[in-house]
Amino acid sequence: MDQRPRPTRGRPVATTHEEIEEAAFRLFDERGFAETTVEAIAESVGIGRRTLFRYFDSKNDIPWGRFADSLDHFREILADSPPGLPLHESVHQAMLRFNDFGPHAAPQHRRRMGLILSTPALQAHSVLRYAQWRGVIADHVADRTGLAPGDLLPVTVGHVSLALALSAYEFWLAHEESDLLDLLDSAMAGLRDHLA
Amino acid sequence: MDQRPRPTRGRPVATTHEEIEEAAFRLFDERGFAETTVEAIAESVGIGRRTLFRYFDSKNDIPWGRFADSLDHFREILADSPPGLPLHESVHQAMLRFNDFGPHAAPQHRRRMGLILSTPALQAHSVLRYAQWRGVIADHVADRTGLAPGDLLPVTVGHVSLALALSAYEFWLAHEESDLLDLLDSAMAGLRDHLA
DNA sequence: CACAGTAATGACACTCAGGGCCAAAAGTCG
DNA sequence: CGACTTTTGGCCCTGAGTGTCATTACTGTG
């Protein structure tokens, strides 16, 4: 989102996205998302409310962190997939790799998704993010099939891939011990059986 | 949502959901959704702003009309499906019947979905509606398979069914002459091929 | 017909998200 | 030190949503 080399001119920044995110999550844990005002988050970071809105477009955007960056990563994964691979395989593999946070980042990822998927306002806001994610898939499918990104198949594969991912995520969050990657596999296998 | 026999006591109601919906759509068409204030809608109906919020929980709920009622209908359709039918068939048939608005209601339905799917705020809000719709499917799948409604397969079938429906809707709205029912069929067939 | 009971209405006031505007702050560079 | 640059944050406004409560407009009864 903001990978510019940071010109050293002008007044220095007062905070970072990460710092705001951290403070916000602390407050969300304490009082809940709806009960935490943007004012409180800003105060907790030590910045003005107005400044916080320059780092995040809305309160709903805070839990998503720098999502746009990871979208670029997703796009690369798909582009790098071997051209010989069947389409459904390359999409499937990309989904697995995209969601493969190491043991290091997994806890924060779980915290983030847990908050998002359990908070109505955030669930709602998420579709706008999901739409971008689906777009990346649709573009890839269109590219490999020669169809337009708006044609039925690319759009459908995008939607269905998201559907599988969300199923897996919901189960993962509900079951502490489960493995997200296994679940993605299972969800896809289940769908295949179901349709057969 | 509100099928009580209308007790004849007390002060009579000043309006109806339908009347508000109509006035709102007229204003949305004129100025756009975001540019139309709740105040303006209320004024156009001739009621107070506070009263409007007793009919609809939020501005975002207005375009959905009485969605809860149609959910009950969807539940009935699924419950009535022949027990012999394969699961994926009963879900598929139910989706077709649920989305089969006659030529009478189709234009208003198109208008409604067109507004929702082209307005970010409404797209976002819709997930909360979709979640209920998915729940109906998950319950049905759980019922027929003996699984719990929260298990992976029922949840997945719910998500994927929604995915197919949304793909079809997006294409339908983008192509005036297309047939929604055909598109639902095509989307499902496309997915089957894709996975095979 | 008056009067009690009932239920919806709408005015008022308040909180909070979001955004436009702009003067002040806090750096760097020559 | 002074010019330049960029971020900050204060001020103020709009609009959604909610609690409270007096008022309104009915119905049904004596």
Tens-place pLDDT, residues B139-171: 999 999 999 999 999 999 999 999 999 999 999
How far is the alpha carbon of B12 from chain A, nearest alpha carbon, in Å? 34
Give the A:B interface size as CB pairs under 8 Å.
103
Convert the pLDDT of each residue in B40-53 to its tens digit.
999 999 999 999 99
Is the confidence at residue B15, as pLDDT, over 70?
Answer: yes
- CATH homologous superfamily, domain B17-63: Homeodomain-like (1.10.10.60)
User: Which residues on chain A are in Cβ contact (under 8 Å) with B152?
Assistant: 167-168, 171, 183, 186-187, 190
* Structure confidence at residue B3 (pLDDT): 46
Is the confidence at residue A2, as pLDDT, over 60?
Answer: no
B164: tokens are 């197919």
Is the confidence at residue A6, as pLDDT, over 70?
Answer: no
- Nucleotide closest to A53 measured between CA and C1': C18
Who wins on pLDDT, B196 or B98? B98
Give me the percent of chain B exceeding a pLDDT of 70. 96
Q: What is the 3-state secondary structure (H, E, C) of chain A?
A: CCCCCCCCCCCCCCCCHHHHHHHHHHHHHHHCCCCCCHHHHHHHHCCCHHHHHHHCCCHHHHHHCCHHHHHHHHHHHHHHCCCCCCHHHHHHHHHHHHCCCCCCCHHHHHHHHHHHHHCHHHHHHHHHHHHHHHHHHHHHHHHHHCCCCCCHHHHHHHHHHHHHHHHHHHHHHHCCCCCHHHHHHHHHHHHHHHHC
Looking at domain A67-195, its CATH class is mainly alpha
Is the confidence at residue B2, as pLDDT, over 60?
Answer: no
Region label for A65, one of left (φ > 0), alpha (ψ between -120 and 50) or beta (otherwise): left
Which amino acid is residue B102, in one-letter code? Answer: G
pLDDT (average), residues A40-58: 98
* Structure confidence at residue A69 (pLDDT): 80
At A193, the pLDDT band (50, 70, 90 cuts) reads confident
* Structure confidence at residue A4 (pLDDT): 45
Domain extents for chain B?
17-63, 66-195
What CA–CA distance (Å, rounded) separates B18 from B37?
Answer: 18
Looking at domain B66-195, its CATH class is mainly alpha
Is the confidence at residue B1, as pLDDT, over 50?
Answer: no
pLDDT (average), residues A124-149: 95
Lowest mean pLDDT among A63-67, A93-97, B151-155: A63-67
Give me the percent of chain A exceeding a pLDDT of 70. 96
Among candidate residues A96, A81, A92, A185, the one with its CA nearest the CA of residue A143: A81
Convert the pLDDT of each residue in B50-104 to its tens digit.
999 999 999 999 999 888 888 999 999 999 999 889 998 999 999 999 999 888 9
Compute CA distances B25 → A165, B20, B44, B64, B102, whole Å: 35, 9, 11, 11, 21
Compute the mean pLDDT over every residue in chain B, rounded to the nearest whole number.
92
Which amino acid is residue A122, in one-letter code? Answer: L
Instruction: Compute the half-sphere exposure of residue A60: CA atoms within 13 Å on the CB side of its CA.
Output: 15
DSSP code of B5? -
Contacts of strand C, CB cut-off 7 Å?
A 8-12, 36-39, 49-50, 53, 57-60; B 7, 9-15, 46-48, 50-51, 54-55
